[in-house]
Amino acid sequence: MENVLCINRSMGDTSVYSWLHRHLLALRLYSEDGEHIVLVHTEDDRFWAMDSSCPHEGGPLDLGDIEDLGDGKRVLVCPWHHFDFCLETGASSMGLQNQVYEVRVVQDMIYINTQNELCLSPIPETDTSNGKAIPSPSEDTLCFWATKILCTPDPKEKVAMTLEVQERWNSGEITEVGQATPPVQPSRKENLTVLQPGKIKRGKGGTQASRIALLHSLANIEQWAIDLSWDVIARFSSVRLDTGEPLPRQFFSDFVKVAGDEAKHYHLLETRITELDSFFGALPVHNGLWQSATDTSHDLLARLAIVHMVHEARCAPPDPLPLAAQGDCSSVEVLEVIYQDEITHVAAGLRWFTYICSQEERDCLSTFHDLVKQHFKGYLKPPFNTEGRKTAGMTEEWYVPLVKPPS
């Protein structure tokens, strides 16, 4: 049986066919049995269909990129782990196989060879006990958008989506936290040159080239910081404390705010880099921050300790004097905004670390020290921005015991 996807071109611009015809994209179609399909429109005006869930770990192929392998073959790439699937056969270069479906276009009607009913929106489930329709779980949840942002490679799009989701969450338009499986690593644009952290030279701001290097390095950190905020939301959304209680809603609100701040920071830095006649991606970047996220992906307390307390607590801004000496007041103002916000981010990490420890009857300081020794390589290195840490509520007893003792 072939199921019709859309009605004909007589509907004009409201026709799904017309919409797909104008775009190179992948669109999810919902099936009554939960085995959803992704419909792909390629630049040669052909249509393809396959199961929308990656057979590896269920990644959303409708959020994936369409790539041309250069031999006439096109693939759909899963945004989670980058498994590719041939649009024609469903075969992957990694040895996996996805189900594909025959697609025909007849007089502006798209037909997909499947026995299941297809729909552009989730199909309501039926409660057989009373015959009433029960809406399927909405995808318009905080975790759905968190995962989508993590899978967005373009930093400008990532910033725009972050600020939009923040506004919708704060206004109550998005009501549910939901659940979603975040990618192993966030997506990045392919034109970036990625080096080891130690090989990245961050300027001190004495020359224009040095200022660009400094701001570029910070922009890279802020892009990762956006992803770290969304990852802690999506990855730990279903966490239950030892008491059996879920995380309070305010936990998610706090990290939505952190994500919004980091998005603002990236935008300020990227704008300033452009004003200095450069662009983000002009210099090499590193992904060192994500290693800490990977190492703590199994433990929320460890994630809060390492990412949101240790790394964020390095909140001393770069020395503004070289920038000021060059008359670059605009860059100095950007750094001051970032510095003030980062203090509140440390406070958020500290607040939720101490909350969980309190609920689970753990000693906060000893738990923190043990987790840092376990997951952070080496000792914490002074000098510390004592005033900034104190403002965030992180007094010396938290970090001084983690400094290398004098020999």
Global confidence as pTM = 0.66
Lowest mean pLDDT among 21-35, 77-91, 298-312: 21-35
**Could you tell me the sign of the dihedral formed by the alpha carbons of 29, 31, 34, 40, in that order?**
negative
Do residues 368 and 353 touch, judged by C-beta distance below 8 A? yes
Over the chain, what is the mean pLDDT? 83
State residue 391's pLDDT score. Answer: 86
State residue 138's pLDDT score. Answer: 54
The fraction of the chain above a pLDDT of 90, given in percent, is: 46
More confidently predicted of 376 and 383: 376
Lowest mean pLDDT among 81-95, 169-183, 210-224, 322-336: 322-336
Q: How confident is the model at residue 219 (pLDDT cuts 50, 70, 90)?
A: very high
Distance CA(280)–CA(284), nearest Å, equals 9
State residue 81's pLDDT score. Answer: 79
From the list 292, 228, 216, 275, the residue with the least C-alpha distance to 256 is 228
Give 267-281 pLDDT, tens digit per residue. Answer: 999 999 999 999 999
State residue 350's pLDDT score. Answer: 95
Which positions ≥6 away from 354 have C-beta within 8 Å? 364
State residue 314's pLDDT score. Answer: 64
Q: How confident is the model at residue 300 (pLDDT cuts 50, 70, 90)?
A: very high
Cβ-based neighbour number of residue 356 at 10 Å: 20
pLDDT at 120 over 80: no
Do residues 117 and 32 touch, judged by C-beta distance below 8 A? yes
The fraction of the chain above a pLDDT of 70, given in percent, is: 84
pLDDT at 79 over 90: no
**Mean pLDDT of all residues in 7-21:** 42
Residue ranges of the domains in the chain?
2-125, 142-402
Do residues 303 and 371 touch, judged by C-beta distance below 8 A? no
More confidently predicted of 95 and 365: 365
Which fold would CATH assign to domain 2-125?
Rieske Iron-sulfur Protein (2.102.10)
pLDDT at 250 over 60: yes
The 8-class DSSP code of residue 200 comes to -
State residue 135's pLDDT score. Answer: 32
